[in-house]
Amino acid sequence: MPRHTPAVEDYLKTVFEIEHEGRVAGTAELAERLRITRASVSGMLKKLAASPDGLVRYTRYHGVRLTAAGRKVALEVIRHHRLVESYLVAALGYGWDEVHGEADHLEHVISEGLEDRIAAYLGNPQADPHGAPIPPRDGNLPRLQDRRLSEVGVGQRARITRVADRDPELLRYLDRLGLRPQRRLRVTERSPFDGPLCVQVDGAEEIYPLSRRVTDEIYVLVDVAD
């Protein structure tokens, strides 16, 4: 399989992420997430779709979709990213709030051989330090049935599956509260009008009120009552 430029890899990765959240990737959202102008995105999408690599299907004014080939490249980039994050934490003492930026650069430069060695060193982990699943070498990304903490009702118990990794400040905050993947919690209260949602973590005493901005970034698996 051919090599792609960092820019192309970033587009594919981002399209994948948006699709994985269940939306169609549009110019505006891509532009915002890639921190470039909409015009630039338009131009790039046109070129990508015209390329013989066939990574993307694109209908003017109606967004892009990854082809199977494009999805494969995106998954490789994401695998690199999440393996690197895991490695930096496990082997070099990084905090989970420090690895995202570093991985964003390294993901494009890691060879397949280095990827393999890192994966082997870590024992082929299934998730990165933020709980995000690591795609297997040539497989797909498991579709987890988790949902935002902001959507959980009062009284329900849940287990944290993952948290957004983009904002280091948020990560340090969550860390202080013990809101980490695998941790269990219970929603004790929800105020109306996007008011704070209160959680009790892992049977501890204290109850934390969390803003909408925070609960939107925490994903949980709600206990089934049967």
Closer Cβ to its own copies, 11 or 87, answer by number: 87
**Residue in the structure block whose two tokens are 């890192």:** 118
Closest CA to 216 of 196, 192, 186, 191: 196
Q: Does 7 bind its own copies (CB under 8 A)?
A: no
Verify binding: residue 50, its own copies, rule CB under 8 A.
no
Please state, in angstroms and rounded to a whole number, the distance separating the CA atoms of residues 185 and 158. 6
The option from DNA, its own copies, none interacting with 36 (CB < 5 to 8 A, set by class) reads DNA
Q: Which of the residues 25 through 44 are near its own copies (CB under 8 A)? A: none
Contact partner, 190, from DNA, its own copies, none, Cβ < 5-8 Å per class: none
Based on the shown chain and the rule CB under 8 A, indicate whether residue 164 belongs to the binding site for its own copies.
Answer: no
Interface residues for its own copies in 52-81 (CB under 8 A)? none
Whether the Cβ atoms of residue 48 and residue 11 lie closer than 8 Å to each other? yes
Contact status, residue 75 vs residue 138, Cβ threshold 8 Å? no
**Part of the chain binding its own copies (CB under 8 A), chosen from 28-36, 44-52, 84-92, 205-213:** 84-92
Q: Exactly one of 111, 123, 153, 192 binds its own copies (CB under 8 A); which one? A: 111
Identify which of residues 10 and 97 has a Cβ nearer to DNA in the complex.
Answer: 10
> Do the bridges between strand 197-201 and strand 184-190 make them parallel or antiparallel, or are there none, so unpaired?
antiparallel
| 82 backbone dihedrals φ, ψ, rounded to 5° | -75, -30
Q: In the stretch 86-105, what mask flags binding to its own copies with x, by CB under 8 A?
A: --x--xxxx---x--xx--x
Task: Spell 187-215 as b/e; 16+ CB within 10 A means b.
Answer: beebeeeeeebbbbbeeeeeebebeeebb
Closer residue to DNA (CB): 20 or 47? 47
Query: Which residue, among 202, 222, 200, 211, has the nearest Cα to 173 in the 3D structure?
Result: 211
Q: Which residues bind its own copies (CB under 8 A)?
A: 88, 91-94, 98, 101-102, 105-106, 108-109, 111, 113-114, 117-118, 121
